[in-house]
Amino acid sequence: MNTLIAITGLGIFCLLFEILNLRKAIIPITIAGLLGVLALNYCEFGAEQSYYNNMITVSKFSTAFSSLFIIITIFLVALSHNFYHNHPTKISDYVAIKVFLLAGGVAMVSFGNLAMFFLGIEVLSIALYVLAASDRLNIKSNEAGMKYFLMGSFASGIILFGICLIYGAMGSFDITEIHESALSAELPIWFPIGMILMVVGMLFKIAAVPFHFWAPDVYEGSPALTTALMSTLAKIVAVATLFKLVSGLNLISSLENQDLLYTFQNIVVFLSIASMTVGNIMALRQVNVKRMLAFSGISHAGFMLMTLLTVSASAGVLLYYTAAYALAGIAAFSVILYVCRDHDNEDITNFHGLGKTNPLLAAILTASLLSMAGIPIFSGFFAKLFLFDQTIKAGFVSLVIVAVINSIISVGYYFKLIIAMYSKEPNQERTGKPFLIYAAAVVSIALNIILGLFPSLVLDLLN
């Protein structure tokens, strides 16, 4: 709870800095503030408590994921410095929006009441709409913002409808009450229907097939830093929330009582396979790196959905997977931001010869792509390993085999970028070594490798 208040306070401070004319200090102060929030959040870890009539419940799950969100936000704020240096007057707005977005994300994983959940999702979404359209003179950015807003508000409506149906079925918004009454043998059909509507809405936020159509266009059109945010922070917030919804509302046991579990699992398996395959196959054909990573994100969403098959045991696995994925994503986007800062597109040709001009950044991008592809010692490999382990344990061997085949396909497009960096001649000068971009890239990939060397650090947090 304190975390949430502190984050919101920090966001307001960011706005005040603008008034106080402290724009230059805003990035360091926000980072310091977020580090403080991280420490605060760490203190809350392990203390299970609920606040304000159960509106917010702090649990291990919520604090662990909140920490991850805060860490990712720190990177995103650090990257803002160079990204917005052409718009010095607006930087406090941009940073404040990111902090508010984080508040929305934290509320989404620590809700104790569906009203709070909806509040969180709206705070997050509205911040995202604004950021997507934040390059207001660029028509593509406008298009992206508009598209995202239309589709997103539609999804919000569906979620809201689902919440209403659940309220109708259960007579409560409170998740502990719903959790208990979900076990009763006689449930109105509204409950599963409401859940399905909510899951559909969340799948839209995650960008899982078949609710993924917005993602490539929005990712491509949005400013690169916003794309970074969407593909890392927003995605893992949505996945964690979906997981919490399914486990917190006791959906699995309730479906089991009504003999619907098998259907549910089939649907999850189908969605997961469809997301992985469609995402990967579409990614193979992309020449725009942001678009490619959008499709890669869709396929990773498919992997993350696999955790829904083993809800009771896989919270730790999900945390590990999201951490590995988000850290690799941040490292990759740091390099993309550097390489594409003076270009109006993010085509692969921009990366030609990066291995010669900036060996360090090329190595970092390579490492992050290898992590996403699941090559050992990077945490992406262990994430996949633990996920496959869980899934085989639950008896879905064929799903794992499809996932394995997809991992092989994904190497195809990740390596396209690696080859462009190392085996093509540089076609442009790349000058300057912006400290914050380098720092964000190095630290995030280092964290990724540390997670790979010591997976227990994160994996055991939620067991």
Partner 1 sequence: MNVSTILIILLIGAFATYLSGDKLASKVALLFSLAALGCSILLLNNYNAGENISFIANWINKPTIVLALNADGLGIAMVLLTLALTPIIIFSSFGNEYKNAKSFYALILFMAFAMAGTFLAADGLLYYVFWELALVPIYFIALIWGNGDAEERRKAVVKFFIYTLAGSLFMLTAFIYLYQKTGSFLLEKLYAAELSSNEQLWIFLAFFLAYAIKIPIIPFHTWQANVYQKAPTVGTMLLSGIMLKMGLYSVLRWQLPIAPLAAKEYLNIFISLGIAGVIYGSIVALKQKDLKKLLAYSSLAHVGLIAAGSYTLTLDGLRGAVLQMIAHGFVVVGLFFAAEVIFRRFETREISEMGGIRIQSPKFTSMFLILVLASVALPSTFNFVGEFTVLYSLSQINIWFAVLGGTTIILGAYYMLKMFQQVMLGEANSKTFADVSLNEGISFAVIIAVLLFFGFYPKPITDLITPSLETILSVINKN
Q: Does 412 bind partner 1 (CB under 8 A)?
A: yes
Q: Does 458 bind partner 1 (CB under 8 A)?
A: no
- Tell the smallest beta-carbon distance from residue 401 to partner 1 (Å): 6
Binding to partner 1 in span 98-117, by CB under 8 A: none
What's the one-letter identity of residue 375?
Answer: I
Q: Does 32 bind partner 1 (CB under 8 A)?
A: no
Beta carbon nearer to partner 1, 182 or 399: 399
Single out the segment in contact with partner 1 by CB under 8 A; choices: 180-188, 210-218, 396-404, 434-442: 396-404
Q: Does 463 bind partner 1 (CB under 8 A)?
A: yes
Query: How would you label 93-124 residue by residue, b for 16+ Cβ within 10 Å and e otherwise?
Result: bbbbbbbbbbbbbbbbbbbbbbebbbbbbbbb
Beta carbon nearer to partner 1, 104 or 353: 353
Residues 6+ apart with CB under 8 A from 24: none
Question: Measured between alpha carbons, how far is 12 from 25 in angstroms, rounded to an integer?
Answer: 15
Question: Measured between alpha carbons, how far is 79 from 463 in angstroms, rounded to an integer?
Answer: 33
**Of the candidates 24, 85, 393, 433, which one interacts with partner 1 according to CB under 8 A?**
393
**Of the candidates 377, 439, 442, 450, which one interacts with partner 1 according to CB under 8 A?**
377
Single out the segment in contact with partner 1 by CB under 8 A; choices: 8-16, 176-184, 259-267, 374-382: 374-382
Half-sphere exposure of 320 (CA within 13 A, CB side): 34
**Of the candidates 143, 177, 347, 389, which one interacts with partner 1 according to CB under 8 A?**
389
- Tell the smallest beta-carbon distance from residue 253 to partner 1 (Å): 24
Closest CA to 430 of 438, 439, 418, 442: 438
Report helix, strand or coil for 198. helix
Report helix, strand or coil for 1. coil
- Tell the smallest beta-carbon distance from residue 393 to partner 1 (Å): 6
Question: Measured between alpha carbons, how far is 75 from 72 in angstroms, rounded to an integer?
Answer: 5
Beta carbon nearer to partner 1, 228 or 461: 461
- Tell the smallest beta-carbon distance from residue 428 to partner 1 (Å): 19
Q: Collect contacts of 44-51 with beta carbons under 8 A, ≥24 apart.
A: 44/1, 44/2, 44/3, 49/1, 50/112, 51/1, 51/112
Beta carbon nearer to partner 1, 341 or 424: 424
Alpha helices in 21-59 (DSSP H): 26-44
Is 378 within 8 Å of 446 (Cβ atoms)? no
Binding site for partner 1 (CB under 8 A): 355, 359, 370, 375-377, 381-382, 385-386, 388-389, 392-393, 397, 400-401, 404, 407-408, 411-412, 415, 419, 422-423, 455-456, 459-460, 463
